[in-house]
Amino acid sequence: MRVAIIGGGPGGLYAAALLKRLDPARDVTVWERNAPDETFGFGVVLSDETLGGIEHADPVVYEALRRDFVRWDDIDIVRRGIRHRSGGHGFAALGRHRLLEILHTRCRSLGVELRFSTEAPPVGRLAEDHDLVIAADGVHSTTRETYSPVFRPQVTEHRCRYIWLAADFPFDAFRFEIAETEHGVMQLHGYPYGAGASTVIIEMREEVWRAAGYDALTPQESAERCAKVFADALGGRPLRFDKSAWTTFRTVVNDRWSHGNVVLLGDAAHTAHFSIGSGTKLAVEDALALAACLTEQPDVPGALAAYEEERKPVVASTQRAARASLEWFENLRLYLGQPPRQFAFNLLTRSRRVTHDNLRLRDARFTAAVEREFGCPPGTPPMFTPFRLRGLTLRNRVVVSPMDMYSATDGVPGDFHLVHLGARALGGAGLVMTEMACVSEEGRITPGCAGLYTGRQAEAWRRVTDFVHRQAPGAAIGVQLGHSGRKGSTKLMWEGIDEPLPSGNWPVLAPSPLPYKPGSQIPRQLSRAQLTDIREQFAAAAWRAARAGFDLLELHCAHGYLLSGFLSPLTNHRTDAYGGSLDKRLRFPLEVFDAVRAVWPAERPMTVRISATDWAEGGTTAEDAVEIARAFAAHGADAIDVSTGQVVAEERPEFGRSYQTPFADRIRQEVRVPVIAVGAISSWDDVNSLILAGRADLCALARPHLYDPHWTLHAAAEQGYEGPGALWPAPYRAGSRRPRTGRTDAPRPRLSLSLDR
């Protein structure tokens, strides 16, 4: 096999060494345009997991790395002259030059041909002359651009400028330092990579960079000025540069990683922001996987397919974490008002990979100090601290999210709703929300949707609220009011979600006559008179909700239903006073809110659920969501329930763990209004992390409560918590401890006999 590798960075070199080691008969050639000692950056950080893979795959390389690694466990966060240290993290780093030297030596010893200061031939010619071409040619990959119609790359530039520098002394921890200057916030990321050297990355938003005049400075002048800004961190020492220049980070994603016998590796295939690790780590892991797949599969096409199948999910997960970290630093100014320890905890958990429980295992003392500062009583996890909204105090921070059950008859909730909501109230949640209760018959989504447009429906809901208040003391129950808009008159979810009824359809209404998707009913555009009627329907439903005994009312302005349809520019094309600018698109939802607030008891809280983004070009943006939340808060909303999407059928959500919480976080920090976070929050560890970091005040969970109605009580039991935030109903107390299982600690039977003496 003849193998051509374009790019002599760590990923390309390590791939070359592995391929040659696994099969010495392979002819492996590396082309590198730069000289052997030319590189970008100073230090490289590798995780223990990656090092374990290197040790297993090539002990010679591992041993050489081990001798030069600098190891440390601590992270320092410094803001306003106060330092907080968290331990137990485990890092290993070495100089990038030294890493390349080790890989050069290993490649030569194995017989890899290294061609430095040499441009690789065109990739098409290499593909003809070789069995395999590995494109490890970096973030500006020529190979990727050559075959861009096949790889379909997406390159996103971000909002911060950064520069790689170095200091001639070792930090004793991974250091994050924040500088609040007259021009804006700047941050330092620093870590040791040798006995006498540290990498120092200075980062700031583009507008701060320009305001501070860095756009007009040479690299030397930039290094000198950065050294003055962060003089305390550096102990007055200078910073040096080596091919350093200010740049913006670019996230690279490719739909495909291979084409014929050409495959992308490392930054050519993907990038992840430096704040969660190094591109070198990902490239080395790519090389390990590619070499393994070429060994395991019978041919090159099969190997490349297996490599892509193995690595893409891992990289996608890393990129999601990196994106969360990157955006946290982009919006760092929002968190400057947090208490010192909470700020440090927020920074440490920014990527959602390090969590409350994980950090407690690493550094119990630090985590306990954060909890004390937050106000957690001894032994109380953050999720079990109370929270007050107007006249209602919730016993904990867990909300059973509204979930349509499609099980009502003529809008009347029945035994199913009593058992469904009653079970979840008994299960320990602080607040249990009903599904969307529709304000009119034509405002239903499906024939099975519950309502609050008749007295009979209100009486049925009273049966549910009475049960919750009587049998689950301490649990609160809220109602969500809404109107389906253009998404109404459809089948039950399990019969065909958002599909029109085969018969018996009723007319649907919307801000503009735009169907939800092809085949959907075309809605009628609402007239002024109809807007008045609907506003009164909402007010009448709210009056019934109050008499039915609900503790909280939420106005549904999300997910493409009627009020949401007014907010999004994709669904509101009106030219009257209710369409056009965001202020005008807000007008009718705010009118409805005011009408509901006027009849809803003053001591009971009201929340509003919004879609903070449409996940579609030209739709509601995160910036719009802040202004929408600000408007509702100004009108008296006690909290904003921040969801996303489901507004247009052509949406492209960026799914992932807790993927909607950054939108809630931003609204909380900018509007200073309590928020309810939703969206793929699945574990009590997630809830604790979000609450303690100050990204949310309450967390709403849906699917976990379908899986386990007693999710909250079980979360308390698993954390050893037995306080007032999670009271077991008296009949259930015997089940408040996890049931015993079969023994796993018994002596194992002897299955072999050693005759060695």
427-446 confidence digits (pLDDT tens):
999 999 999 999 999 999 99
Residues whose CB falls within 8 Å of the CB of residue 666, separated by 6 or more in sequence, listed in order: 331, 334, 622, 625, 626
Q: Give the number of other Cβ atoms within 10 Å of residue 295's Cβ.
A: 12
> What string of DSSP letters covers 243-270?
S---EEEEEEEES-SEETTEEE-GGGT-
User: What is the pLDDT, as a whole number, of residue 745?
Assistant: 65
Nearest to residue 254, comparing CAs of 327, 148, 158, 325?
Answer: 148
Beta bridge partners of 552: 478
Q: Distances in Å between the alpha carbon of 183 and those of 77, 96, 232, 332, 721?
A: 21, 33, 19, 14, 47
User: What is the pLDDT, as a whole number, of residue 736?
Assistant: 84
Nearest to residue 676, comparing CAs of 629, 713, 726?
Answer: 629
199-254 confidence digits (pLDDT tens):
999 999 999 999 999 999 999 999 999 999 999 999 999 999 988 899 999 999 99
Nearest to residue 251, comparing CAs of 315, 175, 331?
Answer: 315
User: What is the pLDDT, as a whole number, of residue 750?
Assistant: 56
C-alpha angle 250-252-253 in degrees, rounded to nearest 5: 150
> What string of DSSP letters covers 613-656?
--SSTTS--HHHHHHHHHHHHHTT-SEEEEE---SSTT------
Enzyme catalytic residues: 561
Measured CA to CA, the distance from residue 698 to residue 443 in angstroms comes to: 29
Measured CA to CA, the distance from residue 351 to residue 326 in angstroms comes to: 8
Reported confidence tier of residue 748, pLDDT bands at 50, 70, 90 = low
Q: Give the number of other Cβ atoms within 10 Å of residue 228's Cβ.
A: 11
Token reading at 513: 């006559």
Reported confidence tier of residue 743, pLDDT bands at 50, 70, 90 = low
Average of pLDDT values for 497-508? 90
453-492 confidence digits (pLDDT tens):
999 999 999 999 999 999 998 999 999 999 999 999 998 9
Using only C-alpha atoms, the chain has a radius of gyration, in whole angstroms, of: 29
607-641 confidence digits (pLDDT tens):
999 999 999 999 999 999 999 999 999 999 999 99
Reported confidence tier of residue 186, pLDDT bands at 50, 70, 90 = very high
CB 713 within 8 A of CB 733: no
User: What is the pLDDT, as a whole number, of residue 90?
Assistant: 86
- E strand or H helix at 184, and its extent? strand 184-194
CB 508 within 8 A of CB 523: yes
More confident residue, 700 or 757: 700
Measured CA to CA, the distance from residue 757 to residue 250 in angstroms comes to: 62
CB 238 within 8 A of CB 108: no
Q: Distances in Å between the alpha carbon of 384 and those of 338, 362, 379, 639, 713?
A: 21, 22, 10, 19, 10
| β-strands 387-389, 392-394 pairing | antiparallel
148-161 confidence digits (pLDDT tens):
999 999 999 999 99
User: What is the pLDDT, as a whole number, of residue 129?
Assistant: 96
Q: CATH topology for 2-331?
A: FAD/NAD(P)-binding domain (3.50.50)
Reported confidence tier of residue 746, pLDDT bands at 50, 70, 90 = low
Sheet-wide strand order for 197-205? 82-86, 75-79, 174-181, 184-194, 197-205, 153-167, 247-254
Question: Is pLDDT of 730 > 80?
Answer: yes
Checking phi first, is residue 406 left (phi over 0); if not, alpha (psi -120 to 50) or beta?
left
Residues whose CB falls within 8 Å of the CB of residue 529, separated by 6 or more in sequence, listed in order: none
Measured CA to CA, the distance from residue 606 to residue 604 in angstroms comes to: 7
User: What is the pLDDT, as a whole number, of residue 386?
Assistant: 98
In the predicted model, what is the mean pLDDT of the chain? 94
Residues whose CB falls within 8 Å of the CB of residue 739, separated by 6 or more in sequence, listed in order: none
Average of pLDDT values for 670-697? 96
CB 119 within 8 A of CB 125: no
534-549 confidence digits (pLDDT tens):
999 999 999 999 999 9
- E strand or H helix at 153, and its extent? strand 153-167
Q: Torsions phi, psi of 72, nearest 5?
A: -160, 165
563-614 confidence digits (pLDDT tens):
999 999 999 999 999 999 999 999 999 999 999 999 999 999 999 999 999 9
| β-strands 153-167, 82-86 pairing | unpaired
User: What is the pLDDT, as a whole number, of residue 307?
Assistant: 97
Reported confidence tier of residue 757, pLDDT bands at 50, 70, 90 = very low
Q: Whose structure tokens read 């430096």?
A: 274
78-96 confidence digits (pLDDT tens):
999 999 999 999 889 999 9
C-alpha angle 72-232-370 in degrees, rounded to nearest 5: 60
pLDDT-above-70 percentage for the chain: 98
> What does pTM read for this prediction?
0.91
669-683 confidence digits (pLDDT tens):
999 999 999 998 989
CB 184 within 8 A of CB 333: yes
Q: Give the number of other Cβ atoms within 10 Å of residue 109's Cβ.
A: 12
DSSP 8-state secondary structure symbol assigned to residue 490: B
3-state secondary structure of 665: helix
Checking phi first, is residue 718 left (phi over 0); if not, alpha (psi -120 to 50) or beta?
alpha
12-58 confidence digits (pLDDT tens):
999 999 999 999 999 999 999 999 988 777 899 887 777 888 888 88
Average of pLDDT values for 719-748? 82
From start to end of 660-735, where are the E strands? 675-677, 698-701
Q: Whose structure tokens read 């009653």?
A: 422
Token reading at 224: 């000198």
Reported confidence tier of residue 744, pLDDT bands at 50, 70, 90 = low
| Extents of the domains making up the chain | 2-331
